[in-house]
A and B are shown apart, each in its own frame.
Chain A
Amino acid sequence: MLKLLKKIVTTGIVTEKCKAPKDAELETLGIEIKRRIDKKFSGSIAIRQVDAGSCNGCELEIHAINNPFYDIERFGIHFVASPRHADVLLVTGPVSRHMQTALLRTYEATPNPKWVVAVGDCAVCGGEFGQSYACCGAVSNVIPVDMTISGCPPTPLALMKGLLGLLDR
């Protein structure tokens, strides 16, 4: 047990060290986000992510903003399990028709005031899939979109910049 604890403690220090290489831009961006959130949301913003037909590339990068390098939560932005707890819906994918009602219901379940961010080229304009018998073609064809973050998929930095843009509105 002591051996185990020792391992955890020593490896724990490695984590701290590896948080060190932060991008300078990320740091200023993060502080800016924090300032905005403090003003508008009393220091906290809750995001519900909805995959409406993405290829899962966007999900991988949204996951990445929670890793120790970006750690978006330290700026008060966190992901929640229910739309009823959310301020922002982060929607990916060209909205497959099979997900259309699910997306609408998620939107309705989110309390006002709420914001919708379309993430990734598919969500923004249909991307590689476009509009067809199976896809609605863009999130804005289904629910009102307040902001878009392009990219296939957008990088974690682009995602953080995007959220700042939302708070700027």
Chain B
Amino acid sequence: MKLWLMVLLGLLASTAAGIDINDDFDDPALQERYRAIINETRCLVCQNQTIADSNAGLAVDLRREIRAMLESGASDQQIVDFLVGRYGDFVLYRPPLKRTTWLLWASPVVFLLIGLAVVGVTLMRRSKQPIELDGDEWAPLSFSPSPSTFSTWRLYCCRFGAARD
């Protein structure tokens, strides 16, 4: 445990960027897939870094491994399965959808739906209550106020009449 922590903290201080100087894939689509995968894979011996951002030995090895798999025609899913098989779900920065994570993925939408429902109920209740105009409402400002239209002018006065500088 102690040793593990010391390893972790030691790595924490190192910021040498993971510079991947291997030649690009000839196929730009393959290069794109490669970048996408390494940018979502966690470097397990680092402090919260992707293998794209790290130069730790493990990150370099994994990049080489993923590169080789892509070259031999593996699909993204096969590569993810390989990574998860070896290191578990922890290696993926995009949590897979499963029994223990559906709540995580559903939560943002659920929060919003609850919020919108609350707005709906509040609005229904409030729109039935009387609206008293007392002159200090924030009146909209028209682009070209013409004094001939009385109503626009009135709104202007309400809004800025009392705004002393």
Q: Do A and B bind each other?
A: no
